[in-house]
Chains A and B, each alone.
Chain A
C-alpha cells in the first residue's frame, strides 16, 4: 500500500495532483487556524475570496494556454459573463432558495453555464484561427463581451425579470429593483461568497482539470497542441477537442466570476477589461504553462503582493513591477533551467530506486 502510494507520489501525475490538493488544503487549514487564533488581519481576510477567484481563473486559463496551447487574451470576458449571470441568478432565486451557500452554488452553476455558452459562441469562429491571429481575436471578443454587458439593463419586480438593451425601456413596479443598469453595473448586492466556498470551488476545479488532463480527452487535447497534423492523421477531431478545452475553460472562468462578484456589493463591466485578462495570463505564465499548482501559487502570490507592498507607500506599484520583471527574468534564466535539470535528475534517481526496490522484493 505504502509502496503503491510512494510510486504514485513520485510519478509526474501523482506529484502534480498531490501538490495541487496539498497546497490548497494546507493553505485552507492554515488560514482557518489563523482566523480562529485571531492572527489574520482584516486586510488579509478581505483578500481571501478574490485570491480564490483568481486562482480558479488562472487554473482555467492554464487549460487553454498551457494544455491546449492557444493564447487567449479575453479570459476576463468569460469572468464578466459569469459574474453578471450569477448576480441575476442570486437576485432572482432569493426567495426560492433561502439558504445562502445553496444559492451561491446555484448561481455558480448558472454563471458557469452562461459562460460556457459564451465560450461556444466565441470558440466556434475563433478556434479556426491559429497563433497570433487567434490571440488577437480573443482579445476583441473580450472587449465585445465587456461592451455588451455595458448596455444591458435587467430589473426585477413583482411581475418577474425585465430585460432591455442599449436604453432602459421598461419601468419597474413599486418595490422593483434594478439588477444590472448598463454602464453603472450592479450596486447593493448582498454578498454571499465565503472563503470556504472559494476553496471548494478551487478543489472542484483542480479535480476536474487534473482528471481531464489525465484522461483520453486530455491526451487528445495535448496532442493537438504538440502537433496538429499528427493528431489529425490519427483521427483526432482537432476542432472538437479544441472547443472542448476552450468551453470548459470558459465555464470555470464563469464560476470564478460569480464567486468574485458575490464578494463585492458592486461590480461594473469595466472591471473585466483587457487588463484583467492580461493579469490572469501573467499568473499562468509565471506559474508555468501547463503547471496547475504553479498557477495556484502564482495567482495567490501576485494578488497578495501589491497589497503587502502597501507598507512602502508611493513606490508600491513601481516595486511590484520590478518584482514582476525580476520573476520573469528568473523564469527564463539559465539558473532556473539548471535547477530544474538537477531536480529532474534527482527524480529519475528516485524512480530508479523505487524500481530497484520493487525488483528486490
Chain B
C-alpha cells in the first residue's frame, strides 16, 4: 500500500518536473516570436513529422532546417515574419492527421505538410478539404499531390528519381550489368524501383539481379549481395535510405564484393552515420538535391552545425528552402498575416505555379499545376569523405 502510494507520488512529481522542463524550453524558443504575434504580423507556419521513433532523424532535420530559416527571416526584420510549429506524427498517418488538427486549432495559416510520404498523403487530403496551402519539404510519393491543387512538393517525386538515376547511369556509361536491392514495403523505394526498371529497359541497360528486403529483414543482405555477385553485376543500385545501405556496404566489403554503388537522395546522410566506417562509402555515387560541402551552402551548414551539432542533410535543406519559398511567394503576392488560410491558399497557388525559386536544393526551380517541382538534380561521388559533383 505504502509502496504503491509512494510510487504514484514519485510518478506525479516526475511528470510535473518534466512538464515544467518542456514548458520552459518552449517559452525560451518562441519568446521572440510571441512579441511579434502580439503585433499581428506573423504568418503561422505548421508541419508534422516524425520527431520521435524510428524516422525521427528526418523529422527533426526538417524541423531544425525550417527553424533556422524562420529565425533568419525574423532576425532580418521586414514585412514577412513567421512563427513555426512542428507536431510529432511518428511517421504514422493517424497521428499525422491528429497533429495537423491540433495545428489547425493553433491557427496555422500555411502548412509544411508532413515530412514522410504516407503521413503526408493523409494530411494532404485534410489540407485540400480545409483549403490550407501546403508545401512539403520531403514527401515524395506521387499520391501526395495527386488531385490536389493546393499541395506542392519541394523534393523530387519518386518516379522522377528512378528516371534520373537510369539516365545518369547510361549517360556516364557506369555499368553494363546492374543489380538492384530495394525495400518492397516502402512507398519511396518501390516508386523509384518501378520507374528505374522501365527507364533502364528503354535505355538498354541490363538488369541481372532484382532483390528485395522489408522493414523486418533489413539487417542481413548476404542473400541479395550473393545473388548480385554471382550474376556478375558491376553496379548495384540502391533506391533506399542510408541506414540499410550502410549495412549493404559493410557486408559487401566483408564478402569481398566491390561493385560500384549508386544511390538516390535517401542515401544522403550516410557520411554522418555513427559507427559507420566512411571509407566504405568511397566511390559511392548518389543523386541528391543538396550538397553540404558546396561553397554556396556554407552559411546554412555552419549555422546548422553551430545550433544542432551535426551536418545538415537534405531534409533540413528542403525544409529551409520551403520557408524561403513561402517568403518569396508571400512577398510577391503582397499577402498580410491577417489573411485567412483560405485567402492565402488562393494567392499561394497563383504564385507557386508562376514563380521561379533559387534555394539550397537547386536553382531555377519551378512548379507545375500538379504541385510537382522541376529542378536539376546533382549526381555526386564520395571522394575522400566529401561530395564531389560529377
Contacts and interface: CB of A to CB of B under 8 A. Distances in A.
Interface centre among B5, B22, B99 (most CB of A within 10 A): B22
B104 to A, nearest CB: 5
Interface in A32-78: 41-47, 50
Interface stretch (B13-21, B72-80, B165-173, B236-244): B13-21
A313 B152 CA distance: 27
Interface of A: 41-47, 50, 150, 182-185, 187-188, 191, 264-271, 307, 310, 312-319, 322-323, 325-326, 329-330, 333-335
B92 interface: yes
Interface centre among B21, B23, B94, B141 (most CB of A within 10 A): B94
Interface residues of B, number: 46
Interface stretch (B118-126, B330-338, B366-374): B118-126
B184 A322 contact: no
A323 to B, nearest CB: 8
A315 B21 contact: yes
Mostly, the A contact residues are: helix
Given A265-B121, A265-B125, A312-B19, A326 B92 contact: no
B8 interface: yes
B99 A310 contact: yes
B143 interface: yes
B52 A317 contact: yes
A322 B11 contact: yes
Given A312-B18, A335-B1, A268 B118 contact: yes
Mostly, the B contact residues are: helix
28 contacts: A41-B102, A43-B104, A50-B94, A183-B184, A183-B187, A183-B190, A183-B214, A184-B141, A184-B187, A184-B191, A187-B143, A264-B125, A266-B121, A266-B122, A266-B143, A270-B215, A310-B102, A312-B18, A313-B22, A313-B25, A315-B18, A315-B19, A319-B15, A322-B15, A323-B15, A326-B7, A333-B4, A335-B4
Given A265-B122, A268-B118, A312 B23 contact: yes
When A and B form their complex, which 3 residue pairs have the shortest distance between CB atoms, in order from nearest? A187-B143, A265-B125, A46-B101
Nearest to B99: A310
B265 interface: no
Interface in B121-148: 121-122, 125, 141, 143, 146-147
Given A313-B26, A330-B4, 5 more contacts: A46-B100, A191-B125, A268-B187, A322-B14, A335-B1
B103 to A, nearest CB: 9
Contacts of B21: 315
Contacts, number: 122
Interface in B177-205: 184-187, 190-191
A326 B94 CA distance: 26
B187 to A, nearest CB: 5
Given A43-B102, A188-B147, A270 B185 contact: yes
B306 interface: no
B98 interface: yes
Given A191-B125, A334-B1, A47 B98 contact: yes
B98 A266 contact: no
Contacts of B147: 188
A266 B7 contact: no
Contacts of A50: 94, 98
Contacts of A307: 98, 102
A42 B184 contact: no
A330 B8 contact: yes
Contacts of A265: 121-122, 125
B295 interface: no
A164 B41 CA distance: 55
A269 B185 CA distance: 9
B108 to A, nearest CB: 10
Nearest to B51: A314
Nearest to A150: B185
B88 interface: yes
A267 B93 contact: yes
Given A315-B22, A333-B4, A271 B94 contact: yes
A281 to B, nearest CB: 18
Contacts of A316: 52, 88
Contact of A188 (B22, B52, B143, B215): B143
Contacts of A191: 125
B8 A271 contact: no
A42 B87 contact: no
B97 interface: yes
B34 to A, nearest CB: 16
Nearest to A183: B185
Contact of B184 (A182, A264, A310, A325): A182
Given A43-B105, A310-B99, A271 B19 contact: no
Nearest to A308: B102
Contacts of A184: 141, 143, 187, 190-191
A317 B15 CA distance: 11
